[in-house]
Structure 1
Amino acid sequence: MSLYNIFLFVHIVSGAICLITGAVASFARKRKGRHTIMGEIYHGGYVAILISSVVMAIMHWSESAYLFYIALFSYGLALFGYLAKKYRWKNWLTKHISGMLGSYIGIITATLVVNGSKIPLINEIPSLILWLAPTIIGTPIISIVNRRYVKTKKVKEIAQ
């Protein structure tokens, strides 16, 4: 097994872990427990994705340079969301939601772009749509979720 294939294996496993834990964390109750455990695993998986993406992109730059940029941008969003919660920055909840869901959009985009040609029905969708659809669909979802949780948090603060 070549060094590239080892990094590819790590990348695929980490991507699958992030897709699963990101979905579980998104739908879990927002408190310590399942949500935070899945979030920690998600973040760790994203670190592995970042490292493997950068290494693979450097090894095969002409075919995979885009992996480098997606990985940096998407992990930047994950790190932003992670740190906003960890350090309770001002308006941390909005930043946490935006960063984490934004990074999830990134991983969905990368998965579709890299694997879309191999998935029946999706392989009939033009590549540009695969690049743009997750962001077009996901951005309003981020806005809706932010409004829902920020409003809930303010109501709880007023009640206390």
Structure 2
Amino acid sequence: MTARKRRGRHTFCGELYHGSYVIVFVSSIAMAVLHWEESAYLFYIALFSYGLAFIGYLAAKKRWINWLSFHLSGMAGSYIGIITAVLVVNVSKIPVLNALPELWYWFLPTIIGTPLIMMSGRRYTAKVR
């Protein structure tokens, strides 16, 4: 996210991110299916989050109309999804956070991440116009 937005480090890291997300997606689906009663929510988080990552990845590759908005929101939204999944699964082991009500873990990444996506979207799409 911090790399300059041009070919090179940014695109290499984007390919690495997407490839890593595919591995996380497949393993999340497998874990959810194997332990459905305890982990069914991982199945839905994985589908939704990878869908966002794929849209963001595809938008940058195909450069369709308004591609930059799709790329930014897809990649950042997938990041929020994976942070949400990690929090929900591991929050009982994180001091301070484990004192919050459980519902907070589901919404806190979105509450923090959405304004950041909106700010970066305005910043980069304004430069393109």
Q: What is the TM-score when the length of structure 1 is the normalising length?
A: 0.79
Report the aligned-residue RMSD.
0.7
| 1:107 is aligned to 2:98 | no
Separation in 2, partners of 1:40, 1:60: 30
2:73 partner SS: helix
d(CA) in 1 for partners of 2:12, 2:103: 35
Gaps in structure 1 of 5+ consecutive residues: 1-25, 155-160
- Is the counterpart of residue 59 in structure 1 residue 34 in structure 2? yes
The residue identity in structure 2 corresponding to 1:129 is: W
TM-score (norm 2): 0.97
Q: 1:68 aligns with which of 40, 43, 48?
A: 43
SS of match in other structure, 2:65: coil
* Alignment of structure 1 residues 1-160 onto 2, 5 Å: 26-154=1-129
Structure of greater Rg: 1
Task: State the Cα distance separating 1:137 from its structure 2 match.
Answer: 1.3
> What letter matches 1:58 in structure 2?
V
Name the structure 2 match of 1:4.
Answer: none
Q: Deviations over 1:75-122 (max 9, x none)?
A: 000000000110001100010000000000001111111111101111
Q: Distance in 2 between the 1:126 and 1:28 partners?
A: 35
Which runs of no fewer than 5 residues in structure 2 stay unpaired? none
Aligned length: 129
| Aligned-residue offset at 1:44 | 0.5
